[in-house]
């Protein structure tokens, strides 16, 4: 190889997305690659794990993510079917592109499926949002996190605990970089463009929307299998929500999994006499607007624990554990579990305290993706 060829060799990185929480993580990375790494060929691969317009296409439009270079269109299935289908199709993409590295984000089935394919083919794996641990192996995401990190060559973490978690699992410290939180990059970049809550609420509430915004409302999201897949726990949770809505109206953008379970268990009438407004899944900018205008959020999502911390919104996490302890230690999050009485007590406390100040754990400053891309380019060239 001539000297010129040696210095101008372009690395190829395949970036993988599949499900809704991946889209806001990849957005700032795509931007940072375009702005800072002209010598890296970046291809975006979408597995199609999430495919509905409101779970998928609306995010690409709102966030200005380039159209995927490759779409695998796997769709839904059991964990084994979905993971296997992604692996089969992704292997052909790796063969086609012969990338220098595969970059995965988060903890969804697409994350582990593509990491496994890459690692077995001797292609380096880069994991963004590595090292988070709930220590609850009944969560599919926990299995995905542990295995993806074991397969990864470069691990970008969002909080200090992740470093200790990875060391405890035998991962060498030289592979780990505390880069910050790419999801907060996206939040800070998009916050000024959020759709005002009143516009979103008017579509379901008509003229009553103004009153909700003026007097305050809470936001609820629920989709963890542990909360929605078992009829009795789901019924108890929804009963508690209906009761709490007597004190503060609640906006509930419903995940398709949750809607399917509510229909299957015949729980569709639970909110009839209550002040719960059920919406379909919301776009990113609509959700940001709803959160900005809310008095609190009740959720079992991972991302919302972080986003609420950054915007100073009290967050009640309806789970027994969290993989994001920094949101409790330095943020606005409280782990309240799934017992109805405990949730209602925490709800009352949070209402009496009101909004919190915005918190920024280390490197949650809007520049995480830039740090990742700079480090990655240097690492690829090593």
Task: Provide the edge-to-edge strand list for the sheet that holds 218-221.
Answer: 276-279, 250-253, 218-221, 296-299, 315-317, 333-335
- Give every CB contact of residue 136 below 8 A, 6+ residues apart in sequence: 142, 320, 321
Instruction: Please provide the distance, in angstroms rounded to a whole number, between the alpha carbons at the two ends of the chain.
Output: 17
d(CA 376, CA 382): 10
Annotated active-site residue in 46, 50, 97, 223: 223
CB of 79 to ligand UD1, least distance (A): 7
Nearer to ligand UD1, 107 or 149 (CB): 107
Q: Is 223 a catalytic residue?
A: yes
- Separation of alpha carbons 372 and 37, rounded Å: 11
- The minimum distance between CB 157 and ligand UD1, in angstroms, equals 18
Q: Residue 21 or 314: which CB sits closer to ligand UD1? A: 21
Smallest gap, in angstroms, from Cβ of residue 246 to ligand UD1? 29
Query: How many Cα atoms occupy the beta-carbon half-sphere of 266 within 13 Å?
Result: 0
Among candidates 71, 6, 14, which has minimal Cα distance to 40?
14
Smallest distance from ligand UD1 to CB 103, Å: 17
Cβ 60 to ligand UD1 shortest distance, Å? 13
Nearer to ligand UD1, 2 or 138 (CB): 138
Q: Which is nearer to ligand UD1, 52 or 164 (CB)?
A: 52
By CB under 6 A, name the binding residues for ligand UD1: 19-21, 49-52, 55-56, 76, 107-109, 140-141, 223, 255-257, 260
Q: Give Cα 141 to chain centroid, integer Å.
A: 11
What is the C-alpha separation between 20 and 253, in angstroms, rounded? 14
Q: Which is nearer to ligand UD1, 303 or 314 (CB)?
A: 303
Residue positions annotated with a catalytic role = 223
């Amino acid at each position: 190889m001539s000297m010129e060829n040696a210095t101008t060799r372009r690395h190829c990185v395949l970036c993988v997305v599949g499900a809704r929480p991946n889209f806001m993580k990849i957005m700032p990375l795509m931007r940072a690659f375009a702005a800072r790494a002209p010598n890296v060929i970046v291809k975006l691969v979408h597995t199609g794990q999430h495919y509905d317009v409101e779970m998928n296409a609306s995010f690409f439009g709102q966030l200005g993510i380039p159209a995927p270079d490759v779409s695998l269109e796997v769709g839904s299935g059991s964990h084994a079917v979905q993971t296997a289908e992604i692996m089969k199709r992704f292997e052909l993409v790796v063969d086609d592109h012969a990338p220098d590295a595969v970059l995965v984000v988060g903890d969804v089935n697409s994350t582990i499926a593509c990491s496994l394919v890459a690692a077995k083919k001797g292609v380096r794996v880069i994991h963004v949002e590595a090292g988070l641990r709930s220590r609850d192996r009944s969560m599919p995401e926990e299995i995905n996190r542990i295995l993806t990190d074991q397969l990864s060559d470069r691990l970008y973490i969002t909080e200090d605990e992740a470093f200790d978690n990875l060391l405890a699992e035998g991962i060498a410290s030289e592979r780990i970089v505390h880069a910050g939180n790419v999801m907060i990059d996206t939040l800070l970049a998009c916050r000024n463009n959020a759709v005002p809550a009143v516009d979103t609420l008017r579509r379901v509430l008509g003229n009553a929307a103004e009153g909700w915004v003026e007097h305050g409302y809470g936001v609820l999201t629920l989709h963890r299998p542990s909360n929605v897949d078992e009829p009795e726990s789901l019924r108890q949770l929804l009963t508690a929500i209906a009761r709490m809505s007597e004190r503060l109206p609640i906006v509930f953008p419903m995940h398709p999994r949750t809607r399917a379970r509510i229909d299957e268990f015949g729980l569709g009438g639970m909110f009839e006499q209550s002040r719960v407004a059920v919406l379909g899944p919301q776009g990113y900018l609509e959700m940001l607007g709803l959160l900005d205008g809310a008095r609190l959020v009740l959720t079992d999502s991972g991302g919302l624990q972080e986003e609420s911390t950054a915007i100073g919104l009290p967050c009640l996490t309806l789970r027994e554990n969290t993989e994001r302890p920094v949101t409790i230690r330095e943020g606005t999050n409280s782990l309240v579990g799934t017992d109805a009485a405990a949730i209602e007590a925490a709800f009352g406390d949070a209402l009496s305290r009101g909004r919190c100040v915005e918190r920024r754990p280390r490197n949650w400053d809007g520049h995480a993706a830039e740090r990742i891309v700079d480090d990655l380019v240097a690492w690829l060239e090593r």
